[in-house]
């Protein structure tokens, strides 16, 4: 999924996905004026904890979500519980 946020510093793009090849959860962060940051997680619990921490950071820094999240064309193919 892809989320877009905006504040006085610019626009932020966040993408989350599961890499079938490596078995990793992937978090891509495209901060304004910065190179793309990719974080990889081998377990869902750590991935979820990171996304929650990121949500808290964005709220504290006054980032506002723009529109609804967009589902990637290939969809989320992570493990099902």
Residue with tokens 């932020």: 12
| Cα→Cα distances 35→17, 25, 80, Å | 19, 20, 32
C-alpha span between 78 and 44 (Å, rounded): 9
Contact call for residues 27 and 13 (beta carbons, < 8 A): no
**In the prediction, which pLDDT does 72 show?**
62
Q: Is the pLDDT of residue 13 over 70?
A: yes
pTM, entire model = 0.82
CA angle 77, 3, 44 (to 5 degrees): 40
Q: Is the pLDDT of residue 76 over 60?
A: no
> What is the token pair recorded at 29?
């962060």
Residues 18-69: tens digit of each pLDDT: 998 999 999 999 999 999 999 999 999 999 999 999 999 999 999 999 987 7
**Residue bearing the bigger pLDDT, 18 or 79:** 18
């Amino acid at each position: 999924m892809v989320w877009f946020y905006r504040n006085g510093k610019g626009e932020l793009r966040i993408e989350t996905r599961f890499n079938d090849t490596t078995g990793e959860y992937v978090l891509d962060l495209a901060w304004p004026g910065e190179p793309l940051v990719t974080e990889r997680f081998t377990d869902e619990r750590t991935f979820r904890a990171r996304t929650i921490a990121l949500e808290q950071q964005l709220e504290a820094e006054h980032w506002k979500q723009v529109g609804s999240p967009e589902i990637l064309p290939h969809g989320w193919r992570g493990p099902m519980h």
